[in-house]
Structure 1
Amino acid sequence: MTTVELTRFHVVPEHVERLLAARPAMLADFRADRSGFLGARLVRLPGDEWLDIVYWRTPEDFADSRAKGANLPGITAFFEAIDHVVSAEEGTTIEDEDER
């Protein structure tokens, strides 16, 4: 089982390019600085909303990441493009990727 972070957020249209441009550096910072980071998927939703699905090895890895916040430039740049967070949840996968 994998811990999953689900964050839904709003981005004003004029900041979408900035968000997408910041994404690679944010992911690179996560890979370099966040123990247990397994990967992420960014989903564009209707109404200027987005869903970031982030996979963590354990709940503790996710908690440690949250405690660090926007501690690196790539992460800060991504977060600054977000207008506001709509919701944030944590879950656990039931099946592995290859079981779908």
Structure 2
Amino acid sequence: MNYIIEETTKKLFEEVKKSKRENDSVSDDLMSALNCVFGQPLLSAFDLVDRNSVTKLTTPNRRELFKCKHILAVHLSIALQCCLEEKIAEKNFDAFLYEQ
């Protein structure tokens, strides 16, 4: 059962990414599918994405951390390629990690 849910969500995010790339938007059908899978949390996730509240921190060694406690918002911002990006020093990575 978990495998089915995982594969479904993976496919949905791939479709979001494809839709954004090809049409610069997310279709109503895709929004409906996202809503069927995620329900109410989807609204708050899109709100965070719309307000540019998802930041990806990256170190020179390519370690990544997202400053956002809403995992759905993180996945949406990745698929929509709209998260803010901030480079941080390697030595600061652990401090940011423990803030989360």
Higher relative contact order, structure no. (Cα contacts within 8 Å, ≥ 6 residues apart): 1
TM-score in terms of structure 2 length:
0.32
TM-score normalized with structure 1 length: 0.32
Q: Which has a greater percent of strand?
A: 1
Query: Of Structure 1 and Structure 2, which has the larger fraction of its residues in helix?
Result: 2
